Amino acid sequence: MVDPRPLIAHIVYSFRVGGLENGMVNLINRLPDSHYRHAVIALTAVDPTFAARIKRDDVQYLSLHKSPGQGAKLFPRMHRLLRELSPAIVHTRNLAALEMNAPAWSAGVPVRIHGEHGWDENDPGGRKPLPRWIRKGYRPFVTHYIALSRELENYLAQGVGVAATRRDLICNGVDAQRFRPREGARQALKDAPFTGPGLCVIGTVGRLQAVKDQAGLVQAFAILASRPGCEHVRLVIVGEGPQRAEVEAAVAASGIAEKIWLAGERSDVAELMRSFDVFALPSLAEGISNTVLEAMACGLPVVATAVGGNPELVGDGITGTLVPVSDREALADALQAYVKDAARLRAHGEAARGRIEESFSLDGMVGRYDALYRRMLERAARPKQ
């Protein structure tokens, strides 16, 4: 018996721990089972441990093990795969998967949606001409675009020439039940070294890569910890990635390695966030950061660089503090303001939680994706004039 539910084929570079991928998990888990089926196609590989976060048992996972280089080599294989799967919607995400809209078009997929979630690590801020021309070149194959921040929407409009009728702004949402403020004393978690009631724990969560600049955060933290009255500060960095050696070197060079915990990749991120007092995001470039939303949902003030979608999330002086990129002293100053002012820390944390409840609910995000998918399917089903 043929399943009448439309199939959505989600195409990404890889399916592993990451903000973009976490958003996919939340979306697939919460879209109504009766409305859609799903397939996750990774151009490289699907991490089975991460895929287990999807609670539906009817999702297909396919790893294409793409070798480095142009994705056009995969076009024939992707064309055959999509002809076999016959999805009603292909949803690609970020530049690495954009070109797969071409074989989706040739395979006759009626709706081809592309999402821009953040800047490529090699093109922070979207300033390089080549990625812009690549986006322009594949524009005819894309039915509709989704931008996750105003900055990305403006880039699509002005830099890529995507008309307003072909784009939507859908910000990420956060699970405000899983990510919630701490109640009472800090809990002791597995392997966690910083549980004392007199400590002020600064935390960050993210893949260890150059664009996230965790090494710069370590340097700013060392400045902070050297200041009078800041002896009780501690730093927790959660995540793994290619910059692990650089971050470890920065920790060793700080001279205060005993005050810094590199926690690695963790499955208890929500619990870890509730053990923080302040959240820091020193990124060189950002889209709409899931970890900022999660930290805000946990009632944490956020100190973040004023890049990408961060100013759309962090109300400077209201829910957190924005600082210039790569300015270690400014980052240390902003963190110190919370370390030394418990009332400010508490007020900004409460305001952050309130902003999540008002504007960034997960149900609201899922509803907007559902409405867009339905609208695109209805439009594709109309007889051509």
pLDDT at 153 over 80: yes
Tokens of residue 225, six digits: 């910890």
Domains of the chain and any CATH numbers: 7-173+361-381 (3.40.50.2000), 200-359 (3.40.50.2000)
Instruction: Examine the pLDDT at 146 and tell me if it is beyond 90.
Output: yes
Instruction: Give the mean pLDDT of the chain.
Output: 94
Q: Phi and psi at residue 114, in whole multiples of 5°? A: -125, 130
Reported as half-sphere exposure (CB side, CA atoms, 13 A), residue 220 has a value of: 29
Q: What is the pLDDT of residue 385?
A: 59
What is the pTM for the complete model shown?
A: 0.80
Residue 311 banded pLDDT, cuts 50, 70, 90: very high
How many residues comprise the chain? 385
**CA 223 – CA 253 distance, rounded (Å):** 12
* CA distance linking residue 229 with residue 224, whole number of Å: 10
- Residues 159-176 have a mean pLDDT of 94
State the Cα–Cα distance between residues 300 and 297, nearest whole angstrom.
Answer: 7
CA distance 234 to 308: 27
- Per-residue pLDDT tens digits for 251-298: 999 999 999 999 999 989 999 999 999 999 999 988 788 899 999 999
| Structure confidence at residue 383 (pLDDT) | 78
d(CA 193, CA 258): 9
Residues 6 or more apart whose CB falls under 8 angstroms from that of 102 comprise 75, 138, 141
* pLDDT over 80 (residue 121): no
Q: What is the pLDDT of residue 68?
A: 82
For the chain, what is the HEC assignment? CCCCCCEEEEEECCECCCHHHHHHHHHHHHCCCCCCEEEEEECCCECHHHHCCCCCCCCEEEECCCCCCCHHHHHHHHHHHHHHHCCCEEEEECHHHHCCHHHHHHCCCCEEEEEECCCCCCCCCCCCHHHHHHHHHHHHHCCEEEECCHHHHHHHHHHCCCCHHHEEECCCCECCCCCCCCCCCCCCCCCCCCCCCCCEEEEEECCCCHHHCHHHHHHHHHHHHCCCCCCCEEEEEECCCCCHHHHHHHHHHHCCHHHEEEEECCCCHHHHHCCCCEEEECCCCCCCCHHHHHHHHCCCCEEEECCCCHHHHCCECCCEEEECCCCHHHHHHHHHHHHCCHHHHHHHHHHHHHHHHHHCEHHHHHHHHHHHHHHHHHHHHCCCC
Query: Model confidence over 313-354: pLDDT tens digits?
Result: 999 999 999 999 999 999 999 999 999 999 999 999 999 999
Q: pLDDT value at position 127?
A: 85
d(CA 294, CA 354): 13
pLDDT value at residue 184: 87
Mean pLDDT, residues 129-149 = 95
Contact between residue 265 and residue 244 where contact means Cβ atoms under 8 Å apart: no
Q: Give the pLDDT of residue 119.
A: 80
Strand order in the sheet with 233-238: 260-264, 233-238, 200-205, 278-281, 302-305, 320-323
Gap between the Cα atoms of 293 and 328, Å rounded:
23
The Cα 161–Cα 154 span in angstroms is: 10
For residue 288, the model assigns a pLDDT of: 82
Q: Quick check: 19 pLDDT over 90?
A: no
What is the distance between the alpha carbons of residues 29 and 56, in angstroms, rounded to a whole number? 7
